[in-house]
Structure 1
Amino acid sequence: MANHKSALKRIRSNEAKRLRNKYQHKTTRNAIKKLRELESKTEAETMFPTIVSMIDKLAKKNIIHNNKASNLKASLSKHVASL
């Protein structure tokens, strides 16, 4: 167990950050799945900017890698364009 107050605080804050990151990542993954299941081009085009924003926020906070974010955005834009 931790011997210092700062270590105990670090454990608490790390757990809070882990849960927040997990929630945001899961929410984004679910939104991506919904976008990929859509058949309507108009719905997909309205949903696309919000999902791109979510992906960018994950990359900015280092929850996902920048290249993965770019690959996701490219594949999603390709999907929306093909509808």
Structure 2
Amino acid sequence: MPNTKSALKNLRKSERRRLRNKSIKSATKTYIKKFLNMLQSGNIDEAREFFLKEVVKKIDMAASKGVFHKNKAARLKSRLYQKLNKALASSQV
């Protein structure tokens, strides 16, 4: 247990932040999984719309809140864009 008032306050703050970060991370992962499932099932146009409107927005929001580092957010988006482009290329052939 914390010994000082400031340590107690820091404990409360870190717990609030942990719960907020966990919630944002979980929501972001859920959106990424939905996107990947759409790609797997072949709904490429629907997946593209969902990705551009929702997934990128969630990842950017998590980065702006400090949940993800900005480089991690860029890496996630880059890898998801690559998967989308690969699926688009294979569907057009």
Q: How many residues are aligned here? A: 83
User: What 5-or-longer segments of structure 2 have no aligned partner?
Assistant: 89-93
Give the letter aligned to residue 49 of structure 2.
Answer: T
Higher Cα Rg, which structure: 2
CA drift at 1:9: 1.5
Aligned equivalent of 1:41: 44
Tell me if 1:15 matches 2:15: yes
**Which runs of no fewer than 5 residues in structure 1 stay unpaired?**
none
Q: Which amino acid aligns with 2:45?
A: T
- Structure number with the bigger relative contact order (C-alpha 8 A, sep ≥ 6) is 1
Distance 1:75 1:43 in 2: 18
**Matching residue's letter, 1:71:** R
Mapped partners of 1:8, 1:24: distance in 2: 25
Question: What percentage of aligned pairs have identical amino acids?
Answer: 41
